[in-house]
Structure 1
Amino acid sequence: MKTTVFIAVMVAGIAYAVGVTVLYERCNENKCVSRVSKCQLTGACGCTLDNCTCCVNCTLCLAELWDDCCSCVNMCKPRNMSATDMASYSTIHDLLFNALTEHDKPHPDAHWTVERVTPQEEGVILPGLAGPDNSESRDNSPVESSPSTKPATSTAASANETIVPMDTCTVAYINICLGLKKCEDACEHMGAAKYRWFHTGCCECVGSTCLSYGKKKALCRDCPND
């Protein structure tokens, strides 16, 4: 009997611990509660991803805590999504990324800078266009990856037709140096479809309309690029 009670208590304790861990992975209350409360009281974070009217103001208010605290205001990728949820999530995050990169010169307090990129600058060879410049330094070779499985957007009615981009490719460079995992998280939380991480620590978040992985140059403002 005592053994049974002991096992039951242990199971309950483990379940509680796992629940607490998941909770704090979703929203680090110790780290975020003060800033999140301020942002919610001022109305800076009073919207949702599918109605992204406050997205820019919310990222500016959370500032350097955005990556750690966006889950507290329901603007991070939810866990354990189905395929249907993932498709909806990708659409919503396109809206977030578009909102954050709408202006070529973001708010002075923003922690990113925006670049518009041509297919040539992406290294995409299209019929009728000059080939890409492949003069980048090997020491600056990037790691390229995608937080989502959403393909780059392009149109072609047949194999003989010219492939043309539907929209301008937009990328956002995080101002400061980041590690690879932090770069992935930062781009995910901005709503980017992909990211490019340079070995210098420069992090480039790539929009869903880009045909490849954005610009092949490290242009982070406050991160050494050589």
Structure 2
Amino acid sequence: MRYLKAPLGVSPTTMLKYAIAAALLAVLLLLTIKTAETCNEAVCGSVVSKCLLTKSCNCDLKNCTCCKECFNCLSYLYSECCSCVDMCPKPNHTGTDLSRKSHVEDFEEVVPQLFAVLTELPDPHKRWETKTFPVDMEFNHYDPKKEIKLTMLSVEQEVDPNKLTMITVNCTVAFWAQCMSWTKCKSSCLSMGASSYRWFHDGCCECIGQYCLKFGINESRCSQCPGGEESKQLIDEEEDDYDYGEHDYDDQDDD
């Protein structure tokens, strides 16, 4: 076996120390790059190890056979740690303001199956509360590309009955209980597979499903936010009177 000779004036022990230090530095650099691009190992290491050990996250976003199990396993760290198990949809960095009291944005990559699974039943950890309501839409088929367009109808619009097909779909939104920052709201809704999100300026976060128009409900309903609890109580008392947008022209008809 051949051994490397130390340069003159440098002992083999010193060389070994330098080699170990260089190796550790290289490993640390690789981990830092990996963490910045994908997974926060310092925060997620323990919970991810548990979920991998129990095989709770052995699936992908395409078939989503264990999405809910993985979401529950990662628990409140899901939005921070979903990248560690390849369960984070890709973000979209473009956004558009819709109103003065909230910020809204569509996601480029959506996972409606994941969102449907997570909002089908009440969250066991009470992290969010779901609301589902029917929406009437116009269903148009465009040839030759067979594109599908869904739009809200008003009574003022003149439509051809022969070309019009009305369908009723369920819009589902999820209001997070706790107040959160804009970036936290965006990442939380993205991790749930939502189609879009609405972040209210009081800190309330609303994740919006694929069949919702005009970014869901334009009212803060988060139960533990300053403006959310009051709105929630008001709506519970007057649920039948709440307007989801389908009666915008009722007053004009009465005139």
What is the aligned partner in structure 1 of residue 112 from structure 2? 94
Cα separation, partners in 2 of 1:56 and 1:218, compared to 1, 3 Å: same
CA RMSD of aligned residues (A): 3.4
What is the aligned partner in structure 1 of residue 204 from structure 2? 202
Secondary structure of 2:71 counterpart: helix
What is the aligned partner in structure 2 of residue 33 from structure 1? 45
Distance 2:192 2:205 in 1: 12
C-alpha offsets along residues 175-197 of structure 1, whole Å, 9 cap, x if unaligned? 21111111111111111111111
Instruction: Give the fraction of aligned pairs with identical amino acids, expressed as a percent.
Output: 40
- The Cα of 1:218 is off from its aligned counterpart by 1.6
Distance 2:149 2:173 in 1: 14
The within-5 A match list for 1:48-59 is: 48-59=60-71
- After TM superposition, the score normalised by the length of structure 1 is 0.64
Paired amino acid for 2:200: F
What is the aligned partner in structure 2 of residue 160 from structure 1? 159
Alignment of 1:76 with 2:85, yes or no, is no
Please point out which of 115, 120, 124 is paired with 2:131: 115
Paired amino acid for 1:100: L
Paired amino acid for 1:52: C
Secondary structure of 2:65 counterpart: coil
Distance 1:28 1:98 in 2: 27
Q: Which has the higher contact order (CA 8 A, sep 6+)?
A: 1
Paired amino acid for 1:178: M
Distance 1:115 1:153 in 2: 24
C-alpha offsets along residues 128-172 of structure 1, whole Å, 9 cap, x if unaligned? xxxxxxxxxxxxxxxxxxxxxxxx96269x961567455210101
- Say whether the 8 Å CA contact 1:153–1:166 is kept in structure 2: no
- The Cα of 1:200 is off from its aligned counterpart by 1.3
Paired amino acid for 2:192: M
Cα separation, partners in 2 of 1:159 and 1:66, compared to 1, 3 Å: farther
- The Cα of 1:19 is off from its aligned counterpart by 8.6
Considering fraction of residues, name the structure with more strand: 2
Distance 1:168 1:202 in 2: 22
- The Cα of 1:31 is off from its aligned counterpart by 0.9
Alignment of 1:169 with 2:168, yes or no, is no
What is the aligned partner in structure 1 of residue 214 from structure 2? 212
Of the structure 1 ranges 35-44 and 18-27, higher mean CA displacement relative to structure 2 is found in 18-27
Distance 2:179 2:135 in 1: 26
- Say whether the 8 Å CA contact 2:129–2:175 is kept in structure 1: yes
- The Cα of 1:217 is off from its aligned counterpart by 2.2
- Say whether the 8 Å CA contact 2:123–2:129 is kept in structure 1: no
- After TM superposition, the score normalised by the length of structure 2 is 0.58
- Say whether the 8 Å CA contact 1:173–1:219 is kept in structure 2: yes
- The Cα of 1:79 is off from its aligned counterpart by 7.5
Which of the two has higher C-alpha Rg?
Answer: 2
- Say whether the 8 Å CA contact 1:153–1:165 is kept in structure 2: no
What is the aligned partner in structure 2 of residue 221 from structure 1? 223
Distance 1:17 1:79 in 2: 26
